[in-house]
Structure 1
Amino acid sequence: MTTVLLLCSAMLVLVAVAIELWWGAGRRERQRVSLQHAEQRLAAAPAVPTLAGTTPRPPATAVAAAVPRGLPWDDVLQRAALRTGWGLPLLWLVAGLLLAWIAAARIGTGWMWPITLGLYALVLGVWISRRILGLKRKLLRQLPDFLDNLVRLSALGNSLQMAFQVASQQVSTPLRALLDDTLSGTRSGLDLDRALSQAARPYRLDALEVLAVVLGVSIRIGGRSDQILQRMSDFMRDLEQAQQELMATTSETRMSAWVLGLLPPLCGLLMAIASPDFFQPVLHAPLGHKILGGALALELIGAFLLYRLARSL
């Protein structure tokens, strides 16, 4: 029975990988076609005459096409302020499999493999989402001061690009890393707005996209960008204050929802690991299967209702 459950778990993992590859096939094909189109345009573009001893500036399409795509989960890890690459996902996978093996060996049933892996993935997802939310809040908290410095330097007569470069040296992490990536993109040949949009893509912040649009319009068309940036800074401060008041008002309800939603499955898992003999009838007796199924259904219904309650506030 345990061997069959292990084979079923392996098949589910393979099916999940196949579904991921199938969903990503269309995106990879669009990227390949876009890259071929960019290469054809670059090959057909006429040569730009340059002065002797100077290096022609690469077109923006060539620079954007040369940027490495990275792994599929790199954007999520970067959004959570974690190290990108294969290291952390492999470490999490090994830890989850080890924990599931300990739980299955302790209780003596293969059903603990999917249950433990599911709870482990849930806890890991909650932890990563909390880190992503915390990083977004830090970025939004640092942006108004950066915009104020940008407006002040622009009012002193500096160009927008120079003001952006000087103001980026006066901020701390995590915004400093994003601005450094933006300046690195400008040194590679991208315009300031496109470099900022590319560096801010993993973070998915509307404020950064709006800032990139304002910078692009100011660079290409002109106008009083300092007034727009000042209004953005004031609006972001007011929005942050309103969000803090809302979070302070609803923090107790949201925390209660998380505790009530995660406490029953975690307590059940800990009880099963601590006292396997007490938990054996639930896993082997027909009545225990019905009780376990009913508890799972009630847990899903309760988690959904608590989620709707927390989202409505």
Structure 2
Amino acid sequence: MGTGLLLGVLSIVSVLLALAAWLWGTASSREQRQASLQHAEQQLARGTAPAAVRPEAARAPIAAPGRTAGNRRSLPWDGLLQSAGLPAGWKVPLSVLLPGMALAVLAVARLGTAWMFPLTLLLYLLGAWLWLARRTTRLKARLLHQLPDFLDNLVRMTALGNSLQAAFQVASTQTTAPLRELLDTTLRNARSGMELDRALSVASQPYRMEVLGVLAVVMGVSVRIGGRSDQILQRMADFMRDLEQAQQELAATTAETRMSAWVLGLLPPASVVMMAIASPDFFQPVLHDPLGHKILLMALGLELAGGFLLYRLARSI
């Protein structure tokens, strides 16, 4: 009973550390996106006709369609996989989950306790989540890097006398992945009967980038009301370049602290699992001896205190 309780508490500690790091990351990204959106709204408000763009419209949630392009029912994790640049469906989740299950079974066989199964699987899934979050961040950075050039092409096409819809279609053929995939999805939605701004909002929903929502609102106002959309799009392109530069500087400044927090927070529970799998005979006294229980409880207390301090340190950046 004592062994199961200690391993259960260790699993809870790992979950709390992951949740704390996730809350810190999402809080900082939300603050940055909010500031970026406010700055974009101020830039858009300097235009003529597009000044009617409302912040509420830019932030309005767009309902995702229930089925994908192939008339296949969308799965709950399809949007998450799409935001990471991975194909939707069952293949990727199964290919990620099966090695974790095998590692968890190996840990149970080596240590002889069923509590190693959820603990090992939890740590493995946490590592997979970090890999997925990293891919999502890199994909968003690539999208933000490609958007200004796309807007420049859009401005040139509209300045030559093309309509916004025609300019959007021509400019989308001159882009590369991953922005090309998003624009192709937008054009497919538009051909199916959606308005262009609505099609862009639906296609960009999995990526959760406010700049795409603002771009959809600007395009919708330009199509329905008119005005100098080329000037607004040019301001947005300049703003996106400034935003990309600011994000790169922030990432370079805080990279060492964020990586240190992750490594120091996850190293102790990962080391426990690896020690238990590699040398179960060496680890058995810690699980069955009263002194080993006390050592584990002390380690759990230090882990909780260290995780809290690392969370405060990361939040103070």
Match of 1:182 in 2: 186
Which consecutive unaligned segments of at least 5 residues does structure 2 have? Answer: 9-63
Aligned to 1:133: 137
Unaligned runs of at least 5 residues, structure 1? 9-62
Instruction: Find out whether 1:246 has 2:250 as its counterpart.
Output: yes
Instruction: Give the TM-score taking structure 2 as reference length.
Output: 0.76
CA distances 1:66-87 after superposition (whole Å, capped 9, x unpaired): 7665001111111111121112
Find the aligned partners of 1:77 and 1:141 in 2 and give their Cα distance: 21
Corresponding residue SS for 1:282: helix
1:283 aligns with 2:281: no
Match of 1:93 in 2: 97
Secondary structure of 2:89's aligned partner? coil
1:84 and 1:300 map into 2 onto residues whose CA distance is 37
Q: Matches of 1:111 and 1:64 in 2, distance apart?
A: 41
Cα distance, 1:272 vs structure 2: 1.6
Amino acid at match of 1:123: G
For residues 94-173 of structure 1, the aligned pairs below 5 Å read 94-173=98-177
* Offset at residue 64 of structure 1 (A): 5.8
Secondary structure, counterpart of 2:185 in structure 1: helix
Tell me if 1:206 matches 2:210. Answer: yes
Q: Structure 2 CA distance, aligned partners of 1:165 and 1:147? A: 12
Q: Indicate the structure whose relative CO is greater, using CA pairs within 8 Å and at least 6 residues apart.
A: 2
Q: Which amino acid aligns with 1:113?
A: F
CA contact (8 A) 2:79 2:206 kept: yes
Counterpart pick for 1:306 among 300, 305, 310: 310
CA distance in 2: counterparts of 1:96 and 1:230, whole angstroms: 48
Question: Which residue of structure 1 lines up, in the alignment, with residue 277 of structure 2?
Answer: 273
1:70 aligned counterpart, secondary structure: coil
In the alignment, the residues of structure 2 paired with residue 304 and residue 84 of structure 1 have an alpha-carbon distance, to the nearest angstrom, of 36
Instruction: Tell me the distance in 2 between the aligned counterparts of 1:305 and 1:122.
Output: 20
CA displacement, residues 220-254 of structure 1 (integer Å, 9 cap, x when unaligned) = 11111111111111111111111211222222222
Q: Identify which of 208, 217, 223 aligns with 1:219.
A: 223
Cα distance in 2 between the residues matched to 1:196 and 1:167: 14
Give, in angstroms, the shift of residue 101 of structure 1.
0.5
Q: Which has the larger radius of gyration?
A: 1
Counterpart mapping for 1:33-112 below 5 A: 70-112=74-116
Give yes or no for contact 2:258–2:314 (8 Å, CA) kept in 1.
yes
1:85 partner SS: coil
User: By how many angstroms is 1:292 displaced?
Assistant: 2.0
Contact 2:85-2:139 at 8 Å conserved across structures: yes
Kept after mapping to 1: 8 A contact 2:261/2:314: yes
Shift of 1:291: 2.3
Instruction: Give the Cα–Cα distance (whole angstroms) in 2 for the partners of residues 291 and 65 of structure 1.
Output: 52
Structure 2: distance between partners of 1:161 and 1:293: 64
Q: Decide whether the 8 Å contact of 2:200 with 2:216 is kept in 1.
A: yes
Distance 1:277 1:196 in 2: 59
- What one-letter code is carried by the residue in structure 2 that aligns with 1:271? M
From the superposition, tell whether residues 111 and 133 of structure 1 become closer, same or farther in structure 2 (CA, over 3 Å): same
Counterpart position of 1:228: 232
Q: What amino acid is the match of 2:294? A: K
Cα distance 1:260–1:64, how it changes in 2: closer, same or farther (>3 A)?
closer
Paired residues, number: 255
User: Secondary structure, in 3 states, of the residue corresponding to 1:294?
Assistant: helix
Q: Secondary structure at the match of 1:172?
A: coil
1:260 aligns to 2:264 (yes or no): yes
Q: Distance in 2 between matches of 1:174 and 1:311?
A: 31
